[in-house]
Amino acid sequence: MRLRLLVSATALAVLSSLLVLLHAQQQARSVPAGGTPVVADALVNGAVPRLPDGKPDLTGPWVGGGSDNDIEREGGLKPGELPLLPWARELRAKREKTTYEEPYIYCLPMGVPRVNPYPWKFAMSYTAKGLTHIYVLHETGDAGAHRVVYMDGRKHPVDPLPTWFGHSIGWWEGDALVIDTIGYNDKFWLDARGTPHTEQLHTVERWTRVNYGTLALDFTLDDPGALSRPVQLKFRARLMRPDLDLMEYICAENNQIGIAGGYLPAKP
């Protein structure tokens, strides 16, 4: 009996050691969940890095700087303060009850500025004439979609073709990057609540890197077709941890409610 107990105790000890080793191996292979790692708090208030031309380096990658759930609340407004016209308010209320009609669940773009809570970055494109284009790249790339901001001095077209990200032109005002966009289509929702807009939507983004780890966005939302007046919103983005970059994300590959799951948008 004593020998049997000794063997049992030895077996339990070996099993316990194996479980500890297995757990350690799983931990080493696992990827932490619950958000994208950002720079440590101790580094946030550091100096703003600058590009060779003296402008602040806004490249990132960043996390945040927009609204996914509720553009009104997350943009700094009080409940009911977003000046929606009656038809737009009614449509939002209807959409809140029929979220399966949300375009994004069918792998269509989120639009501006909704996509920004997910990891993203500014990619600067230079020629002999200097900075000519800025590409805004998103981890939620939605089949490769990206924004183009023209920095070469061109104007908006008189009658732009309505698109998901619109026609964007940009310029510097001191250390602030200003992006002016028109020519949006009316297909995307401004947030998960279903806040609508029209093709008259006009946005102005004013991006300022206030310190090493923080990017501030002063956002003007103007749409005479859906809002009774222009409204000012404010967002903040946090710099990602320096050893990280944007990951691959293929919406249709991971989508279990949209196309991959056999669902199609409801017809009128």
Q: Which helix (H) or strand (E) holds 171?
A: strand 167-173
Confidence of residue 21 (pLDDT cuts 50, 70, 90): very low
Q: What is the pTM of this model?
A: 0.82
| CA nearest neighbour of 170 among 145, 196, 147 | 147
Average model confidence (pLDDT) for the chain? 84
| Residue 266, both tokens | 């409801």
DSSP 241: P
Percent pLDDT > 70 in the chain is: 79
- Coil, helix or strand for 210? strand
Q: How far apart are CA 120 and CA 113, in angstroms?
A: 12
| CA nearest neighbour of 165 among 151, 177, 152, 179 | 179
DSSP 260: G
Q: How far apart are CA 240 and CA 186, in angstroms?
A: 32
pLDDT tens per residue, range 55-99: 999 999 999 999 889 999 999 999 999 999 999 999 999 998 876
| Residue 238, both tokens | 């946090």
Cis peptide before 117 (omega within 30 of 0): no
| 206 burial via Cβ count (<10 Å: 0-12, 13-18, 19+) | middle
- Asked whether residue 135 carries a pLDDT value surpassing 70, the answer given is yes
Tokens 């316990």, residue located: 16
pLDDT of residue 100: 73
Cis peptide before 86 (omega within 30 of 0): no
- Coil, helix or strand for 207? strand
Q: What amino acid occupies position 175?
A: D
Residues whose CB falls within 8 Å of the CB of residue 225, separated by 6 or more in sequence, listed in order? 85, 197, 198, 199, 200, 201
- Asked whether residue 115 carries a pLDDT value surpassing 90, the answer given is no
Q: How far is CA 178 from the centre of its chain?
A: 18
Q: Which helix (H) or strand (E) holds 94?
A: helix 86-97
pLDDT tens per residue, range 179-202: 999 999 999 999 999 999 999 999
| Residue 75, both tokens | 């943009």
| Residue 112, both tokens | 């501006």
Beta carbons of 217 and 207 less than 8 angstroms apart:
yes
Give residue limits of the domains in the chain: 1-29, 59-261
